[in-house]
């Protein structure tokens, strides 16, 4: 199909407009972050003397080192376990066709559209009973469970589409189910697993509700939870708030820019299948 030149130009203009709207909040935060401390910034004005030192202040004030460590620990606790058990369940339900697979799958699906707010109150009392309030486990354990509907759905979709003949051939060779999984299915599932890993990483890192309800100490929270605490504490200091927020965003942005191709693929697939 050929588009006329003017159509192409209008399309591009709209895209660029969209890009500018998307970037505006970031630029406006940057311009505020570079104003001298103690001043009240107005709108978008490039400072005559940019105070890059504000970022160093924010780094200390926000306790970035501790925050990074905390979020890293939470991600390390959630993502590998969630990906492994979701992959196993997806294999069991999608490929092995265990008895009752359909029923179990529908049971998992029930949780797919459930907002986290629907379970947050009982979760609080449950975590309290476990004696885990104010520890990182209070975020890690529930998140693994909350990710199961999507994780299992995602991996099952992959395994259901793998031709059954592949396994039958291996069965004739006398492989056990484990060998079958490990040697044949796991390598084939790598792209699906990679996308799931990226999505769960993002959703863990950005988890806010569980962090503010179950953990009081900002340095034991996820990045999003820490950012919430930072705003609560420095909300009136616009310059520091903007510097700190940008700083807290930086790790995500770096990871995103490095893996942007994989991220976009995962997010597109994730929303299509979810």
Partner 1 sequence: MTLPATGSTSPARAHRNRWARSGRWSGWLWVVPALVMYVVFVVRPLTLTFQYSLYDWNGIGVARWAGLDNYLTVFTDSDLLKIIGNAFVLIIFFSFIPVGVGLLVASLVRRMATGLFGTAVRTILFLPQVIPLVAAGIAWSWLLSSSGVVNQVLRAVGLGGLARPWLGDFDTALPSVGMIGAWVSLGLCTILLITGIGKIDPSLYEAARMDGAGPVREFVAVTLPGLRREIGVCLTVTVIAALASFDIVYISTSGGPGYQTTVPGLEIYRLAFAQRQVGLASALAIVLMALVLLCVLPIQRLTREEKG
Which residues ranging from 92 to 111 are in contact with partner 1 (CB under 8 A)? 92-93, 96-99, 104, 108, 111
Binding flag, residue 39, partner 1 (CB under 8 A) = no
Binding flag, residue 209, partner 1 (CB under 8 A) = yes
Binding flag, residue 14, partner 1 (CB under 8 A) = yes
- Answer for which of 55, 63, 116, 133 binds partner 1 (CB under 8 A) is 116
CB 199 within 8 A of CB 269: no
Residue among 108, 97, 32, 137 nearest 274 (CA): 108
Binding flag, residue 186, partner 1 (CB under 8 A) = no
Binding flag, residue 194, partner 1 (CB under 8 A) = no
Listed ranges 41-49, 56-64, 131-139, 185-193: which one lies at the site for partner 1 (CB under 8 A): 41-49
Binding flag, residue 44, partner 1 (CB under 8 A) = yes
For 225, the enclosing helix (H) or strand (E) is helix 223-234
Show the site string, 133-162: x = touches partner 1 by CB under 8 A, - = not: --------xx-xxx-xx-xx----x--xx-
Please enumerate in sequence order all residues whose Cβ is within 8 A of that of 125, keeping only pairs 6 or more positions apart, or say none. Answer: none
Listed ranges 46-54, 55-63, 120-128, 186-194: which one lies at the site for partner 1 (CB under 8 A): 120-128
Listed ranges 39-47, 50-58, 59-67, 186-194: which one lies at the site for partner 1 (CB under 8 A): 39-47
Tell me how far apart the alpha carbons of residues 44 and 40 are, in angstroms, rounded to a whole number. 12
Residue among 259, 222, 272, 224 nearest 245 (CA): 224
| Torsion sign (Cα): 78, 268, 249, 116 | negative
- Answer for which of 36, 56, 77, 177 binds partner 1 (CB under 8 A) is 177
Tell me how far apart the alpha carbons of residues 272 and 264 are, in angstroms, rounded to a whole number. 12
Task: Calculate the alpha carbon distances from 121 to 126, 140, 147 in Å.
Answer: 9, 17, 18
Show the site string, 245-274: x = touches partner 1 by CB under 8 A, - = not: x--xx--xx--xx--x--xx--xx--xx-x
How many residues touch partner 1 under the rule CB under 8 A: the total is: 103
- Answer for which of 49, 115, 190, 236 binds partner 1 (CB under 8 A) is 115
List the end-to-end C-alpha distance of the chain, in Å, as a whole number: 32
- Answer for which of 228, 233, 237, 262 binds partner 1 (CB under 8 A) is 228
- Answer for which of 51, 63, 126, 134 binds partner 1 (CB under 8 A) is 126
Tell me how far apart the alpha carbons of residues 141 and 180 are, in angstroms, rounded to a whole number. 30
Residue among 41, 22, 20 nearest 32 (CA): 41
Could you tell me the smallest distance in angstroms from the CB atom of residue 86 to partner 1?
Answer: 6
Listed ranges 50-58, 59-67, 183-191, 240-248: which one lies at the site for partner 1 (CB under 8 A): 240-248
Residue among 35, 28, 24, 26 nearest 58 (CA): 35
CB 78 within 8 A of CB 204: yes
Listed ranges 52-60, 62-70, 119-127, 188-196: which one lies at the site for partner 1 (CB under 8 A): 119-127
């Amino acid at each position: 199909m050929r588009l006329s030149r003017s159509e192409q130009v209008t399309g591009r203009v709209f895209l660029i407009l969209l890009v500018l709207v998307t970037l505006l909040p970031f630029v406006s935060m940057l311009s505020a972050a570079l104003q001298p401390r103690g001043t009240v910034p107005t709108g978008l004005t490039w400072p005559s003397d940019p105070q890059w030192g504000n970022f160093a202040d924010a780094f200390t004030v926000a306790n970035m080192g501790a925050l990074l460590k905390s979020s890293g620990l939470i991600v390390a606790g959630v993502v590998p376990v969630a990906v492994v058990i979701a992959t196993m369940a997806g294999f069991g339900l999608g490929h092995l066709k265990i008895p009752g697979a359909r029923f179990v799958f529908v049971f998992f699906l029930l949780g797919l559209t459930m907002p986290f707010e629907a379970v947050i109150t009982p979760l609080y009392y449950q975590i309290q009973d476990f004696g885990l309030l104010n520890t990182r486990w209070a975020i890690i354990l529930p998140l693994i469970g909350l990710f199961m509907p999507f994780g299992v759905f995602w991996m099952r979709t992959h395994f259901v589409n793998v031709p059954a003949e592949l396994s039958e051939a291996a069965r004739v060779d006398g492989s056990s189910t484990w060998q079958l999984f490990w040697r044949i299915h796991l390598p084939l599932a790598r792209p699906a697993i990679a996308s799931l890993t990226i999505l769960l990483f993002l959703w863990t890192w950005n988890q806010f509700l569980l962090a503010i309800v179950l953990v009081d100490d900002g340095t034991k929270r996820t990045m999003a939870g820490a950012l919430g605490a930072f705003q609560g504490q420095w909300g009136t200091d616009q310059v520091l708030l903007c510097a700190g927020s940008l700083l807290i965003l930086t790790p995500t942005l770096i990871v995103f820019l490095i893996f942007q191709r994989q991220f976009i693929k995962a997010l597109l697939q994730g929303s299509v299948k979810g």
